[in-house]
């Protein structure tokens, strides 16, 4: 485990270092991308008091950033046991373990279940760059159509710039930015 310079950018846990599993299996969102995304979310009043769902959570950095900036609670979904353990460690380190939990499951399996803690007002989705466009589209459609989202929820999707992302059924693109080899979309109903 190492920190690789990953830190919380703003809010109550600002400056706290986050652990990252060794190896290249986890690709945390770069600080400048997180900063831009969360500034845009702040401008839309999408964070304060929000219930957050972090799909493909990895280290938990996105959910932790949201919690640090005032989100009320978070559920982090990560299938890698090592990454899920790292996310739990990071939640403990930042003091958010009581308002967040980690589901060590595959995202498709999680979304196929009944949404017990839904609806969520903010969804953060940073899948591995090698996930298929069709698989992601199917997951986003399920998310948008199965009671997971509040009426005004924002779904943030981060992908490689060459990836195809289509707006899930019933949602529209309200923000799109490119940061080097990374594209970020905000979808809203």
Distance, in Å, from the CA atom of 181 to the CA atom of 171, rounded to the nearest integer, reads 24
CB count in 10 Å sphere of residue 116: 6
Q: Is 74 exposed, middle or buried (0-12, 13-18, 19+ CB in 10 A)?
A: buried
User: pLDDT digit string (tens) for 46-62?
Assistant: 999 999 999 999 999 99
Q: Is 152 exposed, middle or buried (0-12, 13-18, 19+ CB in 10 A)?
A: exposed
For the chain, the straight-line distance linking the first and the last C-alpha, in angstroms and rounded, comes to 39
| Average pLDDT over all residues of the chain | 92
151, pLDDT greater than 70: yes
User: pLDDT digit string (tens) for 114-147?
Assistant: 878 899 999 999 998 788 888 999 999 999 988 9
Q: What confidence score (pLDDT) does residue 167 get? A: 82
Examine residue 119 and say whether the peptide bond preceding it is cis (omega within 30 degrees of 0).
yes
36, pLDDT greater than 90: yes
Place of tokens 């299938």: 79
User: pLDDT digit string (tens) for 80-101?
Assistant: 999 999 999 999 999 999 999 9
Q: What is the mean pLDDT of residues 9-15?
A: 96
Distance, in Å, from the CA atom of 36 to the CA atom of 30, rounded to the nearest integer, reads 10
Domains of the chain: 31-188 (3.40.50.150)
Distance, in Å, from the CA atom of 52 to the CA atom of 117, rounded to the nearest integer, reads 10
């Amino acid at each position: 485990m190492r920190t690789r310079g990953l830190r919380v950018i703003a809010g109550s846990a600002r400056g706290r270092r986050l652990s990252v599993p060794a190896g290249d299996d986890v690709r945390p969102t770069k600080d400048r991308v997180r900063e831009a995304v969360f500034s845009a979310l702040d401008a839309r009043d999408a964070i304060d008091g929000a219930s957050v769902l972090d799909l493909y959570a990895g280290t938990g950095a996105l959910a932790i950033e949201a919690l640090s900036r005032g989100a009320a609670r978070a559920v982090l979904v990560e299938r890698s046991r090592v990454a899920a353990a790292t996310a739990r460690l990071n939640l403990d380190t930042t003091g958010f373990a009581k308002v967040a939990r980690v589901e060590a499951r595959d995202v498709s399996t999680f979304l196929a279940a009944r949404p017990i803690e839904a609806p969520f007002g903010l969804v953060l989705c940073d899948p591995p760059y090698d996930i298929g466009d069709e698989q992601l589209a199917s997951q986003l459609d399920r998310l948008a159509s199965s009671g997971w989202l509040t009426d005004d929820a924002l779904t943030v999707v981060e992908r490689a710039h060459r990836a195809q992302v289509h707006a899930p059924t019933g949602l529209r693109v309200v923000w799109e930015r490119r940061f080097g080899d990374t594209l970020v979309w905000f979808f809203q109903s």
